[in-house]
Amino acid sequence: MDKQKALLPIMTLAMTIAFAVWAVFSPLASSFQQIYGLTSTQKSILVAIPVLLGSIMRIPLGILTGRYGGRKLFSLLLLFIIIPLIGAGFANSYGMLLFWAFFIGMAGTSFAISVTFVSKLTPPEKQGTALGINAMGNIGTAVASFSVPAIAAALGVKWAFWGLIFPVVIMLIFVWFFTPDTPKPA
């Protein structure tokens, strides 16, 4: 397999999965409101916490991607987000959900890693098209909106988190084994 040609589809799909993880709390917020008797403000905070960390950490992770390479950073990101997905499935209080939601927010950094990775390995004349295609990974938030409630209804709220681990692991394998290393900066 030509790793260069596989880069764009793999990174777009990987970002889609990461964005689905990043948005996992939004479609479950009303369920958690009922389970824990949350106020509207508490529910809003639960949804906002992952967005906060994901937005803030995009800057340093974009910089680190330029330095260490997208393949390594995106693989580490996917490996890392497995931990809070497991933890969120075991959470039994609002406080624990907030704790795990904070770390699930790291999935939002996938945008900065992916864009940096794709742009570094795409010829300048094709970067606009490549980055536009790559940005379609943002559809992951819609994927979460449709899939997470269905998983929660069929298997329980815990599996809404744990079920996302499977596509994360699959994408981790694809990113690690089927994308090229970023050339070292001069």
Given CA atoms 83, 166, 50, 135 in this order, what sign does their dihedral have?
Answer: positive
Concatenated DSSP letters of 36-100? HT--HHHHHHHHHHHHHHHHHHHHHHHHHHHHH-HHHHHHHHHHHHHHHHHHHHH--SHHHHHHH
Category of 39 on φ-ψ map: left (φ > 0), alpha (ψ -120 to 50) or beta: beta
| Structural tokens at position 105 | 């927010």
What gap in Å lies between CA 156 and CA 141, rounded to an integer? 20
pTM: 0.94
Q: What is the pLDDT of residue 183?
A: 76
Tell me the pLDDT tens digit for each residue of 3-19: 888 999 999 999 999 99
Contact 134, 15 (CB under 8 A): yes
Q: What is the pLDDT of residue 182?
A: 82
Q: Could you count the other beta carbons within 10 Å of the beta carbon of residue 11?
A: 28
Q: What is the pLDDT of residue 161?
A: 98
- Mean pLDDT score of the chain: 95
Tell me the pLDDT tens digit for each residue of 114-173: 999 999 999 999 999 999 999 999 999 999 999 999 999 999 999 999 999 999 999 999
